[in-house]
Amino acid sequence: MRIAYLDCFSGISGDMFLGALIDAGVPPAVFEQAVSALNLEVRLEISRVNRSGISATKVDVIVNGEKDAPREQQAETSEKGCSQSHSGPHEHAHDHDHELGSHRHGRGLKEIREIIRAGALSESAKNTAIAMFEKLGAAEAKIHNVPIEQIHFHEVGAVDALVDIVCAAVGAEWLAVDEFVCSPLNVGGGTVTCAHGTFPIPAPATVELLKGAPVYSSGLQAELVTPTGAATVATLVQRFEPFPRMMIEKSGYGAGTRDFSGHANVLRITVGDAFAEAIAGEGARATQASATQASAARTSATHASTTHLSSESITVLEANLDDMNPQLFGYLMDRLLEGGALDVFSTPVQMKKNRPGTLLTVLAKPEDTDRLAKIIFAETTTLGLRIREEQRQVLQRRWQSVSTRFGEVRIKIANLNGTVTSYAPEYEDCRRIAAEQRVPLKLVMQEAVQAYLKSATK
């Protein structure tokens, strides 16, 4: 299983996440195309900076020719803005944040959804971005005790947030990992003063978004986790734990605005393949065995790793449907995939009373079973659901980006015993390029395959 680990020892904000993605290999052009798809007067400024001795990528959003304003400066023009005050020498860690409130000016969630839906983005990226905004809106709605549709982003903050969140969704999709894992989050300290009063950091919206996540404060008097960063974690991360067992492939560092003395204000992302259960178990037994047994265990583990196979448990959810409007299936599949399903498919079946029906099958991680079952019961007409555990073996997969005359395309590559067994261009990349360049989809896919084969022979 391919995973990305977010090491939030200095918290997380929207710009830090984008910087870490770029530093880990996401081409800047991916973000630039996403920004262009929003049709807003905005651009990205990407630079290399140093944060307490760590070289990192910094991403700034330029709106109407100016960088996004610090949080407290935005507050001066916002009816319900927030400003920060801290007992320590540092004002704040991440200037890059966005104001939400129940005031009437600015962009509301309905308008933001429309902007995202109209963009030339993949459906998956659109759904992820909208989910992030809805989590932000839901948190503020609960705090202010107003309906979510009354929540509006401040005009400048809305544009900045759109860029951060849409690029986060697009970048996470490009990274093509099976799971995001996160460390406990360092939230910082100090206070934030709003129109409603003074509150301790983390801010109220951040606390709401981080429910269920492990958090702590290192004592640094600064806001280290912003609401946008918290929404990113709440939407993308499947589990929280210390650094996981993994074979590291690459890593990247994304910089916050401030440079603290003795504290690297960066977010680190590490990408690689998780150890197979069999290999992990073999390694644990080897440490307790004699020298001869340990040698045999290492030989076994080496052989297992060269096969590029891993075994994992999955849950299969099934339901027979014969009285459901077929128009609802597309929406159902989108909801299930957004909910964490590994795969969703349907099979035509003949049911009782000679009625044609559909067998819905969902593959999922065991920990996602209950959530997906609730979606199925809510969105279909079924009265029952079959659930079983199965084992599956999967080939190790990796991604390689190739250049075509139309743009960058990712190629998914599978290996067995050190030999490439299959490769295929990423459909969403090719689909987006075909739509943007107004060329046949099959032509883009053909050129991507040719570019990969050419690179493979070098």
Q: pLDDT, tens digit, for every residue of 400-412?
A: 889 999 989 999 9
Q: Which domain holds residue 189?
A: 2-274
Q: Is the pLDDT of residue 300 over 80?
A: no
Q: How confident is the model at residue 196 (pLDDT cuts 50, 70, 90)?
A: low
Residue 291 lies in a domain: yes
Q: 449 is written with which tokens? A: 């395959």
Q: How far is residue 189 from each of residues 69, 220, 393, measured CA to CA in Å?
A: 21, 6, 46
Residue 332 lies in a domain: yes
Residue 358 lies in a domain: yes
Q: How far is residue 90 from each of residues 14, 217, 263, 346, measured CA to CA in Å?
A: 20, 15, 12, 56
Is 208 found in the same domain as 66?
A: yes
The C-alpha R_g of the chain, in whole angstroms, comes to 24
SS3 of 263, please?
strand
Q: Provide CB contacts within 8 A for 102, sequence distance 6+.
A: 80, 140, 144, 146, 150, 151, 152
Is 411 found in the same domain as 368?
A: no
Residue 138 lies in a domain: yes
Is 246 found in the same domain as 282?
A: no
Total domain count for the chain? 4
Q: Is the pLDDT of residue 313 over 50?
A: yes
Is 126 found in the same domain as 219?
A: yes
CB 116 within 8 A of CB 166: yes
For residue 324, what is the domain's CATH number?
3.30.70.1380
Q: How confident is the model at residue 309 (pLDDT cuts 50, 70, 90)?
A: low
- Report pLDDT for 68: 60
Q: pLDDT, tens digit, for every residue of 106-141?
A: 678 888 889 999 988 888 899 999 999 999 888 888
Q: pLDDT, tens digit, for every residue of 17-64?
A: 999 999 999 999 999 999 999 988 889 999 999 999 999 999 999 887
Residue 390 lies in a domain: no
Q: Which of 43, 91, 406, 334 has its CA nearest to residue 222?
A: 91
Domain boundary among 354, 384, 414: 384
Is 243 found in the same domain as 106?
A: yes
Is 138 found in the same domain as 111?
A: yes
For residue 451, what is the domain's CATH number?
3.10.20.300
| Of 18 and 322, more confident | 18
- Report pLDDT for 106: 61
Q: What is the pTM of this model?
A: 0.60
- Report pLDDT for 164: 93
Residue 404 lies in a domain: yes
Is 337 found in the same domain as 203?
A: no
Residue 34 lies in a domain: yes
- Give the C-alpha separation, 31 to 26, whole Å: 8
Domain boundary among 364, 384, 404: 384
| Of 306 and 60, more confident | 60
Write the DSSP assignment of 37-50 as a string of letters: HTT-SEEEEEEEEE
Domain boundary among 384, 412, 428: 384
Is 152 found in the same domain as 10?
A: yes
Is 426 found in the same domain as 317?
A: no
- Give the C-alpha separation, 358 to 128, whole Å: 28
- Give the C-alpha separation, 200 to 411, whole Å: 47
Amino acid at 344: V
Q: How far is residue 456 from each of residues 278, 332, 404, 411, 415, measured CA to CA in Å?
A: 31, 39, 15, 12, 14
Is 76 found in the same domain as 196?
A: yes
- Give the C-alpha separation, 117 to 94, whole Å: 29
- Give the C-alpha separation, 61 to 167, whole Å: 11
Is 19 found in the same domain as 101?
A: yes
Residue 391 lies in a domain: no
- Give the C-alpha separation, 25 to 62, whole Å: 22
Percent of the chain having pLDDT more than 90?
A: 49
Is 195 found in the same domain as 147?
A: yes
- Report pLDDT for 235: 95
Scan for tokens 């060329």, then name that residue: 439
Q: Which of 340, 307, 312, 17 has its CA nearest to residue 178?
A: 340
